[in-house]
Structure 1
Amino acid sequence: MSSDLAVDQVRVQSVISHSKVHLDHPVDHDEAVILALGYKQELKRDFSMFTTFAIAFSTLGLLPSVAGTLWYSMAYTGNAGITWVYLVAMGGILCVALSMAEIASAFPTSGGLYYATAMLAPPKYKAFLSWFVGWSNYLTQITGGPSVGYSTASMILALKEISDPNYEYQKWHCFLLATSITISSACIASLPVKWISIITSGTSTLNMVFLFITWVVFLGGNNRVEQGLPKFNSNSDAWKIVNMTEWPDGFAVLMSFMAAIWIMSGFDAPFHLAEESANAEVVTPNAIVLTAVLGGILGFAFQVGMSYTIVDVTAAMESEVGQPFVAFLFQVLDKKRVYALASFAIILSYIMDFSSMLAASRVLYSYSRDGCIPLSRFWCRVNPYTKTPVNAVWFNWFIGECLLCLLFGGVAINAVFSFGATGAFISFTVPTFLRITYARNTFKPGPWNLGKLSYVTGTIGCAFVLMMIPILNFPQFRGKDNTLDLMNWTCVVYWGAMFLVVVYWFAYGRTFFTGPKSNVEVIYADEEGSRDEKTEIDEVVKQ
């Protein structure tokens, strides 16, 4: 028996508000919400709270993320960058995460960031702002897979160089290894949701276990005493600023915030998995907050352990090993333990790679569904066997492979992969800014909300990101010391890419993109004619 679902009774802000959705089958609450937002339920909701958190925590990849961001923390302000500076930065980041969680509860859809932007923006600007946010987030996501794959391959080859004096590094070795890593990651991201749930349940455990083992080994098993040093550094040494930049101390501290932003830029993953999560209005925001809070606490504890055990910060940054974290391990551990712990980081980096590709595919799927991406009709297709957007996975892989080819262009690949933090946090913050300003009286909160605290966290989060936008573009050195290798390419790559996105909008995008659009059968009041049936939401939703 067919019936109609009144959108306004679901209490969501939607592109099809003041209408009804025609139903030809009974729906549960999650499907009623996504239908009310204007979309068909095409993906299977097999992700639980734990699975959603597991994927997000794997995307965060604390151990490889900390190891890879020492260039922005310890290399800028010494031990202070991984202790109190990180802690201060986490305050601003948690406010961003809390605000995002509230928005995710109100708009539990895979393209929630740009969908929310369209719903919360002034009508005159909603299409452009959602276009800008959508592309900023997608371009950030699409660089994640190849970036992490390249990082994983680089760590493997660095260990090879250390263990085999006869080995000579070649760029094509790194390219082929990174390619094999991303291909296998894309295969995992293409699997049915149930299989992904099983895999990620195990990988999240590995993340926790490997992080804890590494922390315990370099704290309890370090050989500092054998070197004639105390077991741990003094408090003053563990928390002090050692300014290694050519900027004043205060500015160097702000630049060190970049490390925390990079480490925490994966907590948005649950948002992109909302259409595959059961009870998404609650599970999605809970997973966002849990990932940000737990990631922040564990990241702080891990880095404090490093600050109390490192022997020489400058030597770790300038080591011939080429990786500060591995250099740190060599300062305090014997070779066998270094290889073991570095192997943990490599395994977790691989896990981080397929988790990143999983989230990126859902972003492409959702944006393509609204016609935001060229050839959208291909990328929004759901595979009938896996019930996942396989086309989107492999299109992202292809673009990532093209980016990996820049490996042969010297600094070019580092320029592309410097995109992440800026693009991510700008797309995170625009809907929050709109929620606390223009839409402060019209926003309809979901079941997970902060109440009056929304304005406090939103204001702090927006102020933090606004302050950091210019900081994220500054290099460590200036003048003649700022070489091509040391240049911060974010100012060129991110803003250059977004300039092209804006040009594309005015040249062509505005002729076809008007914001999120519905793909369900909609009945408006003036289209009802003689239809008398008015079905309340409680009558069409299976309890």
Structure 2
Amino acid sequence: MVDLETTKHEAKSTIYRDDNHAPVTSVLPDGDIPISDHALSADESVLAALGYKQEFKREFSLWTTFCVSFAVLGLLPSFASTMYYGMGYAGTGGMVWGWLIAMVFIQCVAMSMAELCSAMPTSGGLYYAAAVLAPPGYGPLAAWITGWSNWIGQVTSAPSVDYALAAMILAAGSISNPDYVPTDYQVYLLTVLILIIHTAISSMPTKWVANFNSWGSTFNILALIIAIITIPAGTSNVPKFTPASQVWSTILNGTDYPDGVAILMSFVGVIWTMSGYDSPFHLSEECSNANIASPRAITLTSATGGLFGWFLQLVVAYTVTDIDAVMNSDLGQPWASYLLQVLPQKTAMAILAITIVCGFSMGQGCMVAASRVTYAYARDDCFPYSNIWKQVNPHTKTPVNAVIINGILGILMCLLIFGGSVSIGALFSIGAIAQFVAFAIPIAIRVFIVGNRFRRGPWHLGKFSKPVGAMGASFVLLMVPILCLPSGTGADLTPDLMNWTCLVYGAPMLAVMVWWVVDARKWFKGPKVNVEHMLYGREDEETQKSDVIDGVLPVGAEERPTLEGKADESEKVVDGSS
């Protein structure tokens, strides 16, 4: 005679305890098994344990996921867009040393994030992780802060990239026709056009988007290699290269602060450039073998981007001859000015052209990643009118409404162009600070609060997990105030030189916190579970003890989440104790 309780436990083990795809952080109380009209795949089982039904097609692989995140990184256009911060703040010495120093800590952040992704591969990403890992009762607040900060960083990424792209296109026009001087109105209209195109492409079916980004990322890699080889080979400088002793030791301080602070301030370019490696986290619900492939894509993106980015820094540092002329050129685009300074005009235009193509691919990747974040947060009713933004288009199987609202918000944000270069430049600083604050919150909770109770996934750092996470979180804590510093002080600090990041990022975050205190804390309870399930009842003490894996008690094993209301069992909520 078959033992019913044994059968139930084995069924649950089959769905949730597969050796190769074990969901390490389940929000389902013991005994919950999702009802499905088909046998759950390994990825569907993992997602069900996290509390969500499979709604997207899993047509992303490790390679195509890496392609999206590398496209979001967009090393060549990113460097072209942020030369003002690296070279302008600290000169060649700050560029080469600053990138190396920053990359050590950025890699720590990336690897710690990859651990979280392996444990919780859902499009909610860091927001979901913060809710699950936070102490009981604080999950909704941790998710609220993390989610809004991450969303602000994501939603500003495509507009900032597309603005820089428009500026490069018009700078190319100025090179061809020296009498042509782009106006703010023309820059804005071109930026809007690019945003509309990116919105349309991001609304296509998943497979089309994946293929587009695959080709775009491949071109990004080839273009970067071409630039790294062509610039030193084709330079018209005499002598060709600046002596190494001068390159590595010259700190051309463009701020009113000591050299050390100036180097730290130059990190904004590195941080903004390297802030796209979280994209695989947000695409994990569309990726096969997500709890292994997605964290691998995160670390591969960060490591590859860091290495090739440093090579590009070296090339520019060894070939630039007049930093002041590059920074203050009438072209209004330092990268175009630099290329004209060191290369013949035709070669410079060719490099600028491939940078523009890369920038288009990068903006597209940013739009895709941002739309998935908007969808994930709307799914948990974070936004006004969330019922609209969380809809998945029945034909494309993509969150088209989320893409459209991001495109509209981007068009509105680009009105900062009419406030001058410093105003629109705030979008770059916002992207850096907002993303890294969101990255650091769940990592810090995992390292300093959860500790050894963290239930890791199949991809993890082992004994190095806590030290690496602590280094990453500490780096972010140091950089947040640094990223808000203006380049001038005292009498040199004028409104047009003020760093408006603290206002443009701080004001929305302050409004969000006020909203939390006044109203949101009453109804927002964190990520919502939307799986259909049936309750078998709590397991006995011996079964709960079997949840201990390798001697480590999983987070939440001692206190499973409760139903917020029995009337609708498909709307269960994580309250930070899972």
Normalised by the size of structure 2, how large is the TM-score? 0.88
* Cα distance change of structure 1 residues 167 and 319 upon mapping to structure 2, 3 Å threshold: closer
Letter paired with 2:483: L
User: Could you report, residue by residue, the CA deviation over 1:350-404 in whole angstroms, capped at 9, with x for unpaired residues?
Assistant: 1111100000000011111111111111111111111111111001111111112
Aligned to 2:39: 26
Structure 1 partner of 2:451: 440
Q: Deviations over 1:497-541 (max 9, x none)?
A: 11011011112211211011111113334499xxxxxxxxxxxxx
User: Which residue number in structure 2 is paired with residue 453 of structure 1?
Assistant: 464
Aligned to 2:535: 524
Equivalent pair of 2:16/2:45 in contact (CA under 8 Å): no
2:219 paired with 1:206: yes
Amino acid at match of 1:206: F
Separation (CA, whole Å) in 2 of partners of 1:252 and 1:279: 43
The one-letter code matched in structure 1 to 2:429 is: S
1:102 matches 2:112: no
Q: CA deviation at 1:416?
A: 4.1
- Corresponding residue for 1:68? 81
Assess if the C-alpha contact under 8 Å between 1:15 and 1:516 holds in 2.
no
Q: CA, structure 1 residues 165+313, in 2 after alignment: closer, same or farther (shift >3 Å)? A: closer
Q: Return the offset for 1:27.
A: 1.2
- Could you tell me whether the CA contact under 8 Å between 1:5 and 1:23 is conserved in 2? no
Shift of 1:315: 2.1
Distance apart, 1:407 and its partner CA: 2.5
Task: Summarize the Cα distance change of 1:165–1:306 in structure 2 as closer, same or farther, 3 Å threshold.
Answer: closer
- 1:135 match: 148
Alignment correspondent of 2:167: 154
Cα distance in 2 for residues equivalent to 1:344 and 1:81: 27
Aligned with residue 180 of structure 1, among 193, 204, 214: 193
Aligned 8 A contact 2:123 2:281 in 1: yes
Instruction: State the distance in 1 between where 2:67 and 2:40 align.
Output: 28
- Give the deviation of 1:8 after TM superposition: 6.0
Question: 1:429–1:461: 8 Å Cα contact kept in structure 2?
Answer: yes
Choose 159-168 or 450-459, whichever is displaced more. 159-168
Given that 1:114 and 1:133 are in contact with CA atoms closer than 8 Å, whether structure 2 keeps it comes out as: yes
- The 5-angstrom pairing of residues 226-241 of structure 1 reads 229-240=238-249, 241=251
8 Å CA contact retained: 1:5, 1:22: no
| C-alpha separation in 2, matches of 1:341 and 1:394 | 32
**Structure 2 unaligned regions, length at least 5:** 1-7, 540-578
Matching residue of 2:321 = 311
Partner of 2:293: 283
Please state if 1:242 is matched with 2:255. Answer: no
- Asked if 2 retains the 8 angstrom alpha-carbon contact of 1:8 and 1:17, the reply is no
Q: Please give the secondary structure, in 2, of the residue aligned with 1:419.
A: helix
Count residues in correspondence.
523
Match of 1:197 among 196, 202, 210: 210
Counterpart position of 2:557: none
Greater shift after overlay, 505-514 or 162-171?
162-171
Name the stretch that deviates more: 503-512 or 101-110.
503-512
Letter of the aligned partner of 2:485 in structure 1?
F
Taking a change above 3 Å as real, the CA distance of residues 165 and 507 of structure 1, as seen in their structure-2 partners, is same
Task: Report the equivalent of 2:370.
Answer: 360
TM-superposed CA distance for 1:23, in Å, is 2.4
**RMSD of equivalent CA atoms:** 1.8
Q: Distance in 1 between matches of 2:177 and 2:325?
A: 22
Partner of 2:545: none
1:106 and 1:369 mapped to 2: Cα distance?
20
Provide the residue aligned with 1:536 in structure 2.
none
Aligned to 1:541: none
Moved more, 68-77 or 276-285: 68-77
Q: Secondary structure of 2:33's partner? A: strand
- Equivalent-residue separation in structure 2 for 1:416 and 1:197 (angstroms): 27
1:90/1:128 CA distance change after superposition, 3 Å: same
Instruction: State the partner residue of 1:14.
Output: 26
Aligned to 2:385, which of 368, 372, 375? Answer: 375
Is contact 1:105-1:285 (8 Å) kept? Answer: yes
Relative to the length of structure 1, the TM-score reads: 0.93
Task: Tell me which residue corresponds to 2:571.
Answer: none
- The 1:298/1:417 distance shift into structure 2, 3 A limit, reads closer
1:332 matches 2:342: yes
- Report the more deviating stretch, 187-196 or 354-363: 187-196
Segment of structure 1 superposing worse, 274-283 or 258-267: 258-267
Q: Select the residue among 472, 478, 483 that pairs with 2:494.
A: 483
Q: Which residue of 2 aligns with 1:514?
A: 525
Aligned to 2:446, the other structure's residue is in SS state helix
- Structure 1 position 485, deviation (Å): 2.4
Name structure 1 gaps, 5 residues minimum: 529-543
Quote how far apart the aligned CAs of 1:323 are.
Answer: 1.9
